[in-house]
């Protein structure tokens, strides 16, 4: 009986962590959407502000191993490349 209770606790813990991780990944996707909107609007000032927030958030999630560090690096480099190619 004890084993079953422990298994239920572990299962509930995994479900809880999955929800938390999914919400964090959703925040990252929303950051990317906002950045793409600002890119289309050519709003470089707002873009830099949100990119700084995005960069710090995504680095923190990388250190917690939510996202792989190479994927984080790829995200940042692609977005910076787009920002640098903006002409205002």
pLDDT of residue 2: 59
Written as tens digits, the pLDDT of the chain (88 aa) is: 557 888 989 999 999 999 999 999 999 999 999 999 999 999 888 999 999 999 999 999 999 999 999 999 999 999 999 999 986 5
pLDDT of residue 41: 92
As given in the structure block, the two tokens for residue 43 are: 């709003």
CA–CA gap between residue 6 and residue 56 (Å, rounded): 37
Q: Is 79 exposed, middle or buried (0-12, 13-18, 19+ CB in 10 A)?
A: buried
pLDDT of residue 44: 87
CA–CA gap between residue 2 and residue 76 (Å, rounded): 47
pTM: 0.84
């Amino acid at each position: 009986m004890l084993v079953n209770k422990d298994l239920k606790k572990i299962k509930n813990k995994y479900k809880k962590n999955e929800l938390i991780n999914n919400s964090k990944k959703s925040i990252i996707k929303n950051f990317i959407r906002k950045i793409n909107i600002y890119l289309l609007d050519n709003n470089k000032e707002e873009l830099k502000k949100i990119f700084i927030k995005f960069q710090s958030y995504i680095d923190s999630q990388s250190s917690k191993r939510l996202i792989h560090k190479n994927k984080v690096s790829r995200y940042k480099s692609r977005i910076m490349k787009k920002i640098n190619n903006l002409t205002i």
